[in-house]
Amino acid sequence: MSVRVRRVYDPPEPDDGVRVLVDRLWPRGVSRAAARVDEWPKGLTPSTGLRRWYHAGEGSYEEFARRYEAELAAPEAAQLLDGVRESVRRGPVTLLTSAKSPECSHTAVLVRLLEADRP
């Protein structure tokens, strides 16, 4: 099974599998029909406070990732993460984000956690 990350602005591809939007806010300029999002677990995204802290440049990516992982350990987020893990076990999953640099955003943390659980 595979987990991949794509920008939500990119057109859907046949091999995307389950398309999961992992941003708290709906991306500007993208219709729901064009995005073809299958799941949108808002509780899986970084809190507003953490997101603002990181985007304000107050800390390193490593500190952001550590704080985000702590948020993901909370019961609601952990349950949502388990749901995405189950989707990954069944087939390909594409995490969708509007982040310009997904490799240094919360999506990279999610991919690392999801891939660590794969057999």
Q: Count Cβ atoms below 10 Å from residue 69 Cβ, excluding itself.
A: 15
On whether the CB atoms of residues 42 and 62 are closer than 8 A, the answer is no
Measured distance CA(34)–CA(50) in Å, rounded: 29
CA-based R_g, the chain, Å: 14
Stated pTM of the model: 0.91
Please report, in tens digits, the pLDDT of each residue of the chain (119 residues total). 589 999 999 999 999 999 999 999 999 999 999 999 999 999 999 999 999 999 888 889 999 999 999 999 999 999 999 999 999 999 999 999 999 888 889 999 999 999 886 55
pLDDT of residue 2: 83
What is the pLDDT, as a whole number, of residue 55? 86
Question: Over 10-57, what HEC string results?
Answer: CCCCHHHCEEEECCCCCCCCCCHHHHCCCECCHHHCCCHHHHHHHHCC
pLDDT, position 1: 54
